[in-house]
Amino acid sequence: MNVPLLDLKAQYAPLREEIRTAIDEVCDAQYFILGPKVVAFEAETAAYCGTKAAIGVSSGSDALIISLMALDIGPGDAVITSPYTFFATVGAIDRVGATPVFVDIDPVTFNCDPAAIENLLANWPDRFAGLTPRVIMPVHLYGQCADMDPIMALAQKHDLAVVEDGAQAIGAEYPAASGTHRAGSMGTTGCFSFFPSKNLGGFGDGGLVTTQDEALAEKLQQLRNHGMNPRYYHKMVGGNFRLDAIQAAVLSVKLRHLDEWHAGRRKNAAYYSSAFEGSAVQTPAMVYAHSDVQQPHIFNQFIIRVPNRDAVKAHLTEQAIGNDIYYPLCLHMQECFAGLGYAEGDFPQAEAATKDVLALPVYPELTEEMQDFVVKSVLEAV
């Protein structure tokens, strides 16, 4: 049985007419960049995330870059983040000329450990003495929020901005002391990606920045269009970070189904978790599964930890079961960041994760029969 890691054709089939109608409207209007479809989508996503504003941009990577630009982050500034994330998180920091400073992850959630951030700020390394810490950039990895209350408290104490990388976690909820909040609504900005493999995926690249700060929202809107305001007058240099109307049209249709897809993924995750109980397979912990949290995890990825990961991976691949390693090499160990002066052993939890994590198919259209085959195949190999 062939079980892909993700099957977007299965998602598209029941939405085909609805999506093609939405695309047709854009074709008929011939209004392709920004415009009414983007404005409507921004209002819908702001409401969905629980933020005052949402700004459609060209990708998740650009959402991160434009957030840092809007906060005037650049050379001499340090951005505290995770060494265990997709490259774009850290790439964005480097792209604006700032320096990433890493903290280890919590081994249960794979997210930045707030105690490590506190320790870093209290014992700022000598080799970063020339840098000013300006931003904490937590990543809500795999679809579960980082522990935001202590992160926001540290940011407040040290006067830092918080840029949430929510690329994998749109709709994920966090039980803050002040109430339940969605990813992207707690920090200074929230950044999302509509890369096709995310839970809310477009028909191409796309992204979003959310914020509760209306002045910042206006600045972000200008920056995504070359800092232009009014037309052909530029007080600042931005870029072309615009979202196009076809993406917004498709995403608006898909957004209406998003919570039901999240629920399907959670159901599949629960099925795996009970099937692997008592085995050597470590399944993900849903740490915010409290009664008032509807979406404690959106399972963009379902990640198991197994001691003989490479053998399990080879066996699944042989059985035509989609699987992948997110991520095989920490960011502090990447060749392009060698200049930062990190070494193997600096972040033991993140490094350990690279050696034993494996993503299994968890998309909502997966059948029980397919899941049983995945479970059987994993158990054969562990």
The answer to whether the CB of 306 falls within 8 A of the CB of 379 is: no
**Does 89 help bind ligand PLP (rule: CB under 6 A)?**
yes
Which CB atom, from 81 or from 371, has the smaller least distance to ligand PLP?
81
Please report, as residue ranges, which positions from 2 to 61 form the binding site for ligand PLP (by CB under 6 A).
59-61
Complex with ligand PLP: residue 85 or 295, whichever CB lies closer: 85
How near is the Cβ of 193 to ligand PLP at its closest, in Å? 3
165 binds ligand PLP (CB under 6 A): yes
For residue 148 the two structure tokens come to 């935001």
Question: Does residue 132 sit in helix, strand or coil?
Answer: strand
* Closest listed residue to residue 110, CA positions, set 316, 371, 356: 356
**Concatenated DSSP letters of 277-311:** TTSSPBPPP-TT--TT-S-S---SSEEEE-TTHHH
CB of 299 to ligand PLP, least distance (A): 13
Pick from 45, 51, 82, 85: which binds ligand PLP (CB under 6 A)? 85
The count of other CB atoms within 10 Å of the CB of residue 336 is: 11
Among 41, 48, 84, 86, binds ligand PLP (CB under 6 A): 86
Site membership for ligand PLP, residue 301 (CB under 6 A): no
Q: CB atoms < 10 A from the CB of 291, how many?
A: 6
Binding flag, residue 241, ligand PLP (CB under 6 A): no
Q: Is 193 in the site for ligand PLP (CB under 6 A)?
A: yes
Dihedral angle, C-alpha 85, 87, 93, 95, nearest 10 °: -170
Contacts 24+ apart (CB under 8 A), 15-20: 15/253, 15/254, 15/257, 18/253, 19/250, 19/253, 19/254
Q: How far is the CB of 182 from ligand PLP (least distance, A)?
A: 16
- The CB-of-246 to ligand PLP minimum distance in angstroms stands at 16
Q: Is 195 among the residues that bind ligand PLP (CB under 6 A)?
A: yes
Task: Supply the minimum distance, in Å, between the C-beta of residue 186 and ligand PLP.
Answer: 16
Please list the alpha-helical segments (H only) found in the chain: 8-12, 16-29, 36-49, 60-70, 87-95, 114-122, 148-158, 214-223, 245-255, 258-275, 309-318, 348-356, 368-381
The correct pick among 105, 139, 245, 258 for binding ligand PLP (CB under 6 A) is: 139
Stretch that binds ligand PLP, among 96-104, 107-115, 116-124, 164-172 (CB under 6 A): 164-172
Tokens of 76: 């001499």
How many residues bind ligand PLP (CB under 6 A)? The answer is 15
Beta carbons of 59 and 195 less than 8 angstroms apart: yes
Nearest to ligand PLP of 77, 164 (CB atom): 164
210 binds ligand PLP (CB under 6 A): no
Which residues lie near ligand PLP (CB under 6 A)?
59-61, 85-86, 88-89, 139, 165, 167-168, 193, 195, 205, 207
